[in-house]
Structure 1
Amino acid sequence: MPKRVILTEKPDVAKHVAEFFGIEQKLKGAYRLKNGDWVTYNVGHLLDLGTPEDYMSEAQKAARGFAQLPILPKPFRHFPDPEKLEQLKTVVKLLKEADIIVNAGDIDREGQWIADEVIAYAGIDPAGATKPVERVLIRANNDASLRTAFDPSNRRKNGEAEFVHRRTAGQARSEADWLVGMNGSRGVRSRIAARLDTTLSVGRVQTPTLGLVVQRELDIQNFKSLTYYVPEVVLLNGRVLTWSSHVEGASMQGIDAEGRIIDLRVAEAIVARINAGQIGQVTAFTAIEREQAPPLPFNLAKLQSEMSARCAMSAKETSAATQSLYQTRKMVSYVGTDCQYLPSSMHTEASQVLKGLSASYLKLASGANPKIRYACWNDAKVSAHHAIIPTGEQAQGLSNYERKVFDAIARRYMAQFYPKHVFLDSRLEAQYGEDLFKSSWKTTQVLGWKAVDAPVDEDHSEAADMENKMAMRMRHP
């Protein structure tokens, strides 16, 4: 029987894979399985790009400062990470001895590159020209997901164009980071930093990101606050009508270019006229029934934003909790995704996932209808990864952050199997003399998915416009 070596990106994933197949013996850096196969693992990148001096010509090494640039390695050489050398030796030895290699690394471009660069370093063509190299796509560490990933019908060839493109993209990103960072930082230091007596660095991602932060800080520093006035009419039923504008052709004195009342006397005159008995007339009223589908499942960025709003968790805290739920707890699918959609084939697994969730969400999971299918199930929108969803697995002893993050992920998933939220969207407009007022409100008809995943209040107006608004109210029938 051919000797098969399964290569994962992280030790934890290797452990889950080995336990799934059955461990015969645990060795340093690898597992021998009961079926005769082996599982070994990278620890992130086992190989690194070198220092600028590793790629310089002798003339460049003799030069100083800006004269050394540009440094353009052709090709890039990769060097063993001294701190991971023992693991690299173990991986290379097993890869060379293997009859069949199975790339079970993370399924994004970086995961593809991490595995392929080590396979190539071992003298083996990652595309499979020298020996068979298979590709399995592990989306979660629970048994059901591993069973799907390693099913013979789902095994693919590592040399397929899709995986070659991911490898190339991962390699290009890594080398672009090096080229921009090393050349840019040395160039800035030699021309600018010396005059400023400080240390400066340049990065392909770092520099434009810092530029955005600086521009935002300058916008805040240069912001000029503005006081404006908004008369309001409170009807006897409590409905509030807010001043919106003058009628067309009326005087615009005291009103700025954005249509805001900036002269207190103008606002007070409107209030005085209505308090003196000016009659208002309804000019428009609509009540339209609308439907709202649940929000899409989370990707990592959306999850971080949601947990910040719900629980004041930092992006780092959310990432750490989610990673633990994926790697250690096996409770959620792959974390490092920017996709909010799910493969159509996974819709058939909904009943099983909901059954698993019923251990913690008996009423909500039981009320879900796995036959409901929203737009999140869309193969065309899924590339390397799908959205973060629960696996149906449960674990004890979750940390406070893990519990909060899982709750958000589970509720968002269950919401996909609840009816649409139905509401009446009502809008009322009225005219008092030369002034127009309006009001809008929503009345729930069918709660639907909001019974599961109530959204965070999205009213951030105070932080958004940073302007002082003075409301002036008067009661009116």
Structure 2
Amino acid sequence: MTEKPSVAYDIAKVIGANRKCDGYWEGNGYRVTWALGHLVNLAEPEAYGYTAQKEMKEYPQKAMDEIPLIPNQFKLALIDRTKSQFFIIKKLIHADDTDYIINCGDMGPEGHILQWFIRLMANCDKPVKRFCATSMTEEAIHSAMQNLRPEQEFSRIIKGEFCKKKADWILGMSLSRVETLKYHVPISVGRVQSPTLYFVVKRYVDVKNWQPTIYYTLDLKLSDFHVYWDKDTEGIFLEKDKTSDGKIINSNVIESKVNEIRNAEYGIVTNRTTLRKKIERPQLYDIAELQRDANRIYGYTASQTLAAAQILYERYKILTYPRTDSKYLTSDLVPYMNKRIQQIGSIEKYQKKAERVLQNGLNIDHRIVNDQKITDHHALLVTEKIQNFDIDSLTPQGNEKIEGISKEMLQNILDLVIVRMLVSFSEAYLFEETIIEVQICGMTFCTKGKKTIREGYREIEDKKYFITREAPGKPEEQTFPDIKEGMRMSIEACYCCRKETTAPKLHTEATLLTAMENAGTNIENGKILKGKGIGTQATRAAIIKKLFEWGYITTEKKGNINYLIPTNKGIFIIKVLPKDLYSPKITADWETRIAKIVDPDDPYTDYDFMREFEQFITEKVKEVKNNNTEIIYKKEVYGKCPWCGHNIYRYRNPNKPDVIYYCSEKNCNFFLKTSDITVRTWTGKNLTEQQICTLIKDGSIVLTCRKKTGNGTYRERFQIVKKEKNGRVFANLRCEFNDKKGQKKG
């Protein structure tokens, strides 16, 4: 049993199970079936007799009294939309001619427990063997089938992951309910979700409270070039005239120094050093790096990038599995890479670049191959289907368009992966860096320059990619005259430069993903999160998307960049949550204890973990219940009603993707939905929050519409109009195109 249909097909093809049946492949003594991701989850609170979420308003005291929710025995429940596949699996498990089960799930802890839940729910009583492979090449599949391992080897991993699942359930259900009931506003709390929200809130507060510091630097013009002085590292100035890191904040003392330098005749070259350096080419993509680049370069959200990559993987089968957390390949894939670059070169757009890479020889080293650093899936690659692939054939379908997936987006995501492969197999960028230091009046001025020796990967990669990736302040592409140490350099001019420290930038989705990945950097016990962070590569996009859907964060566009800012509700949640619950330290503590459960030499058990956690959650619930804070939640206002002038609020049903913006005046029927049928008919997309706010403010908005032929777009204006139905007046949107054509309006 595999996790995904595509993996089942790959394995079935190799082992000879060539007959397609309903929900599985069969042949050569095997049946190969698959889960569709999660088929089984932990049951909802009502399964244990707790108050159902929809009944909490009716019975608030009963719901409050039963928190924290700590079931004695956890129950499993089927997911409705995939339960038909579960029953196929169950039938195959209990078939008389099934001798044993081969678990072909992903190799990470999540993959182990996903399969265990299914077997547990199906009352599996057959022996289980473990298929262990990190790639789906024919060689790797044969090797894994010949070296099946006992499932019992992984029982401790399953115990540890089950602890995490139970603790996440208890924490999420208990704290979300107690906060919601305490403050009379829907609040969602999660071990990963809450720290992620905190990252956005903290950065926003830091920026809002930022006070710039004015400081002064010097620019010295010599006969052939400039040298610079930035801060006092030599103890020349008094402490009161500079910051703790040596920046001069007293303009008078720096101006005095300028006059002294202008009166000097020359400076002495005290150092000229030339070093050969290199910048390594970037590694292959994992999903997080792909999401960061797509956000930084194109402004795509993490969820859009993941959705586009999934389409390229599932429908077009042109990408390997995208939800990977590895930037490496397994050694068994190496022999296929030369052919893969040739196949990329079959597309005219990449022909010359591919030829250049092949001509130089693929640079396959430790940055490309590392079997030990792959648990579930190798780095993102294009598949053999890239051969002569028609990139123009990429087209989103149905709901994909409504979710904002466009033809151009699919093309750009594929382009990123292709270019990254070409770049990763190229040579490093090689250059000479020259440092020159000139001393005058007791101060050391410095400048740097570089000369390219070998372009390497930079002649392959488009500038829009690496310019945004490399850090600012790199040495300029410049060379110096024949300067030697001890030479006197005549002074032509000296300038005082007024500067100010810059505020930290608000988070973008790209930087937020990085913050989630590096969450353990500055916390106690955080070392265990190195390389993992909070969340997983597969879930981070969904967590950020949920913060948007719940109305905890929104975007603020500056130039071409969408910055993340918290809403009133997002800030309120961080204010009222116990500090422990929005710190990544909770994940670090859990991972430390789970590692002890997994370690066969450690006496610590899953029972110890749950006992400690139950004590922790009981204390946190008590802390919330006893909190006498007078903080009051103020609803987010999304504009003034164009009909009556009252505030516009928003509502999102947690069980539906639609968001409604409505007037706070009970007798006013004004409301707009993001899924407005008129807009969807003409544009193929839902309205965004920003577009809704523009409509509320201006009464109309210009949107991009699709031509009926499916080829091309045009711009049209949509207006808010009043429409009456069954004696009620409500808001409707009308496209101006209808007016021009004299067609039915609305």
Task: Give the TM-score, by structure 1 length.
Answer: 0.80
The one-character-per-residue Cα deviations of 1:372-397 (angstroms, maximum 9, x if unpaired) are 42343222323333322333431432
Q: State whether residues 100 and 134 of structure 1, in contact with CA within 8 Å, keep that contact through their aligned partners in structure 2.
A: no
Distance in 1 between residues matched to 2:9 and 2:374, nearest whole Å: 28
Partner of 1:311: 298
The 3-state SS of whatever aligns with 2:369 is coil
Partner of 1:47: 40
For the pair 1:400 / 2:408, whether they are aligned, the reply is yes
Partner of 1:177: 168
How far has the Cα of 1:26 moved from its partner?
A: 5.1
How far has the Cα of 1:156 moved from its partner?
A: 4.6
Distance in 1 between residues matched to 2:352 and 2:152, nearest whole Å: 46
Distance in 1 between residues matched to 2:203 and 2:106, nearest whole Å: 35
Q: Which amino acid aligns with 2:94?
A: K
Q: State whether residues 55 and 72 of structure 1, in contact with CA within 8 Å, keep that contact through their aligned partners in structure 2.
A: no
For the pair 1:391 / 2:383, whether they are aligned, the reply is yes
> Relative CO higher for 1 or 2, CA cutoff 8 Å, sep ≥ 6?
1
How far has the Cα of 1:318 moved from its partner?
A: 1.9
How many pairs are equivalent? Answer: 444
For the pair 1:456 / 2:456, whether they are aligned, the reply is no
Distance in 2 between residues matched to 1:165 and 1:112, nearest whole Å: 10
How far has the Cα of 1:224 moved from its partner?
A: 0.7
How far has the Cα of 1:65 moved from its partner?
A: 4.2
5 Å matches for 1:76-475? 76-97=74-95, 98-125=98-125, 130-135=126-131, 137=133, 139=135, 145-151=136-142, 154=145, 156-157=147-148, 159-160=150-151, 163-190=154-181, 192-193=182-183, 197-245=184-232, 247-251=234-238, 254-276=241-263, 278-360=265-347, 361-365=350-354, 366-370=358-362, 372-394=364-386, 395-396=389-390, 397-398=393-394, 399-453=407-461, 455-457=466-468, 458-459=470-471, 465-466=502-503
Q: State whether residues 329 and 369 of structure 2, in contact with CA within 8 Å, keep that contact through their aligned partners in structure 1.
A: yes
How far has the Cα of 1:199 moved from its partner?
A: 2.5
Distance in 2 between residues matched to 1:118 and 1:156, nearest whole Å: 23
Distance in 2 between residues matched to 1:372 and 1:11, nearest whole Å: 31
Q: Which amino acid aligns with 1:373?
A: D
The one-character-per-residue Cα deviations of 1:190-238 (angstroms, maximum 9, x if unpaired) are 5x32xxx323232121222223322222222221112222221244444
Distance in 1 between residues matched to 2:452 and 2:460, nearest whole Å: 15
Distance in 2 between residues matched to 1:464 and 1:346, nearest whole Å: 48
How far has the Cα of 1:293 moved from its partner?
A: 3.1
Q: State whether residues 11 and 42 of structure 1, in contact with CA within 8 Å, keep that contact through their aligned partners in structure 2.
A: yes
Percent of aligned pairs sharing the same letter: 26
Distance in 2 between residues matched to 1:411 and 1:169, nearest whole Å: 39
Q: State whether residues 326 and 374 of structure 2, in contact with CA within 8 Å, keep that contact through their aligned partners in structure 1.
A: yes
The 3-state SS of whatever aligns with 1:260 is coil
Q: State whether residues 56 and 71 of structure 1, in contact with CA within 8 Å, keep that contact through their aligned partners in structure 2.
A: no
Distance in 1 between residues matched to 2:500 and 2:153, nearest whole Å: 44
Q: State whether residues 243 and 435 of structure 1, in contact with CA within 8 Å, keep that contact through their aligned partners in structure 2.
A: no
Partner of 2:70: 72
The one-character-per-residue Cα deviations of 1:398-431 (angstroms, maximum 9, x if unpaired) are 3422332333333333334333332212212222
Are the structure 2 counterparts of residues 247 and 24 from structure 1 closer, same or farther at C-alpha, using a change threshold of 3 Å? closer
Are the structure 2 counterparts of residues 62 and 254 from structure 1 closer, same or farther at C-alpha, using a change threshold of 3 Å? closer
Are the structure 2 counterparts of residues 331 and 82 from structure 1 closer, same or farther at C-alpha, using a change threshold of 3 Å? closer
Q: State whether residues 39 and 118 of structure 2, in contact with CA within 8 Å, keep that contact through their aligned partners in structure 1.
A: yes
Distance in 2 between residues matched to 1:382 and 1:134, nearest whole Å: 17
Distance in 1 between residues matched to 2:157 and 2:139, nearest whole Å: 22
Q: State whether residues 136 and 155 of structure 1, in contact with CA within 8 Å, keep that contact through their aligned partners in structure 2.
A: no
Are the structure 2 counterparts of residues 367 and 241 from structure 1 closer, same or farther at C-alpha, using a change threshold of 3 Å? farther
Distance in 2 between residues matched to 1:341 and 1:138, nearest whole Å: 11
Are the structure 2 counterparts of residues 435 and 316 from structure 1 closer, same or farther at C-alpha, using a change threshold of 3 Å? same
Distance in 2 between residues matched to 1:178 and 1:246, nearest whole Å: 53
Distance in 2 between residues matched to 1:405 and 1:219, nearest whole Å: 33
Instruction: In structure 1, list runs of 5 or more residues that go unmatched.
Output: 1-6, 140-144, 468-477
How far has the Cα of 1:136 moved from its partner?
A: 5.6
Q: Which amino acid aligns with 2:425?
A: F
Query: Which stretch has the larger CA shift, 13-22 or 45-54?
Result: 13-22
Query: Which stretch has the larger CA shift, 298-307 or 33-42?
Result: 33-42
Query: Which stretch has the larger CA shift, 237-246 or 110-119?
Result: 237-246
The 3-state SS of whatever aligns with 2:165 is helix
Partner of 1:471: none
Partner of 2:552: none
Query: Which stretch has the larger CA shift, 233-242 or 377-386?
Result: 233-242
Task: Give the TM-score, by structure 2 length.
Answer: 0.53
The one-character-per-residue Cα deviations of 1:92-126 (angstroms, maximum 9, x if unpaired) are 1123224454434344332332223212322225x
Are the structure 2 counterparts of residues 146 and 343 from structure 1 closer, same or farther at C-alpha, using a change threshold of 3 Å? closer
Q: Which amino acid aligns with 1:448?
A: G
How far has the Cα of 1:316 moved from its partner?
A: 1.8
How far has the Cα of 1:447 moved from its partner?
A: 1.9
Distance in 2 between residues matched to 1:17 and 1:338, nearest whole Å: 22
Distance in 2 between residues matched to 1:233 and 1:245, nearest whole Å: 16
Distance in 2 between residues matched to 1:344 and 1:15, nearest whole Å: 22
Q: Which amino acid aligns with 2:2?
A: T
Root-mean-square deviation (CA), in Å? 3.5
